[in-house]
Structure 1
Amino acid sequence: MDYELAVDGGPDSIPGGTSVLLVHPSTAETDRVDTDFLKKDTDHFLVISTRTTAREVTQKLDYYDVDEDRAVILDTLSVERGYSRRTRDDVHYVSSPDDTDGIVEQTKQFLESHDGKIRLSFDSVTELAYYAGEEEARDAVERILDLLVDHDAVGLFHLSTEVHDEDVLEGYRDRFDVVIDLAEDDSIDVQD
């Protein structure tokens, strides 16, 4: 199954199981790339947020006119921060942003319970590494990438250039099928 990529300079489509890495400085406008990725050619999508709460993700989807009826959000922050959590079918929580096993398990459950063209947005790997450590974050990403292949889904993963050592950045670049470099001026370079 092929998916439309919808990124300037990239291939028109990518096969199921493809992993896409969005590498960016912290000041870049990642929301546009992220929401464009989720809008196109999608039956259901999961947003794994280690950077913002479910409420903020919902506001972003609404602002960029993404169909929220297709969305499920995994909020990793609200429980730890003590925010109120509204139980809904389309919002799930883990106990803390360093709960990598919980994040992987919730991802697996989402992929197993949805059919059709499935996308995932992971915002962000950098924040996960901040909370859980580089090694744990890398292991969680690897497990999620394997799940994408198993379920013929595609995923976009955010990674900041300003936090990780160069060898960590290169390790991620080598592991992903498509790498999108987003510059501070919002220009895009795609390697596939």
Structure 2
Amino acid sequence: MDYELAIENAPDTIPGGTGILLIHPSTGETDRIDTDFLKTDTDRLLVISTRTTAREVQQKLEYYGVDEERADILDTLSVERGYSRRSSEHVHYVSSPDDLAGVIDITRQFLTENEGKRRISLDSVTEMAYYADEERALEAVEELLELLEEHDAVGLFHLSEEVHSEADVAAFKELFDGIVSLDEDGTVEADF
């Protein structure tokens, strides 16, 4: 199954099972790329957020016109920070951003229970590595990519380049079929 891709300078379509690494500066404005990815040619979507709360994700989706009826959100921050949580069948929580087993379990459940074209956004791998560590984050990303392949889904994984060593960035890049780079000035380059 092919998925349309609304990312400038990238292919028009990508096959199911494709993982894309979005490399950006820490100040980079990734919301537009992320939401264009999520709202194009999609039946169900899962936003895994290690950087913002479910409420903030909902506001972002609404602002950029992503159909919230199709969205599941996995909030990894609210429990640890003691924020109030409104559970619903489409908002999920794990105890903290380093609960990688929980993240993988909920992603597996989402992919298993939903039919059709499914997209996942992980914002961000950098925060995941900050809370867990580079090696555990790398292993978790590998597992998530295997799930995408197994379920014919696609995913976009955010990585803030300057926070990681060159070796770590290279290790993450090796896992992905596509690399999208966002520069400070908003220029987008893609390598598939």
Which TM-score applies when normalising by structure 1? Answer: 0.99
1:19-38 pair list within 5 angstroms: 19-38=19-38
- 1:174 Cα deviation after fit: 1.7
- 1:151 Cα deviation after fit: 0.1
Cα distance in 2 for partners of 1:148, 1:124 equals: 17
Cα distance in 1 for partners of 2:134, 2:16 equals: 27
1:17-96 pair list within 5 angstroms: 17-96=17-96
Cα distance in 2 for partners of 1:127, 1:67 equals: 26
- Equivalent residue pairs, number: 192
Residue in 2 aligned with 1:126? 126
Say if 2:100 is the partner of 1:100: yes
Amino acid at match of 2:16: G
Say if 2:19 is the partner of 1:11: no
Deviations 1:76-103 (CA, angstroms, capped at 9, x unpaired): 0000000011010110000111100000
Residue in 2 aligned with 1:109? 109
Residue in 2 aligned with 1:138? 138
Root-mean-square deviation (Å): 0.5
- 1:175 Cα deviation after fit: 1.3
Deviations 1:118-161 (CA, angstroms, capped at 9, x unpaired): 00000000000000011111111000000000000000000001
* Unaligned runs of at least 5 residues, structure 1: none
Cα distance in 1 for partners of 2:152, 2:178 equals: 16
Moved over 3 A (4+): none
Which TM-score applies when normalising by structure 2? Answer: 0.99
- 1:33 Cα deviation after fit: 0.2
Say if 2:188 is the partner of 1:191: no
Which secondary structure does the structure 2 equivalent of 1:162 belong to? helix
Amino acid at match of 2:188: I
- 1:74 Cα deviation after fit: 0.2
Percent of pairs with identical residues: 64
- 1:170 Cα deviation after fit: 1.0
* Unaligned runs of at least 5 residues, structure 2: none
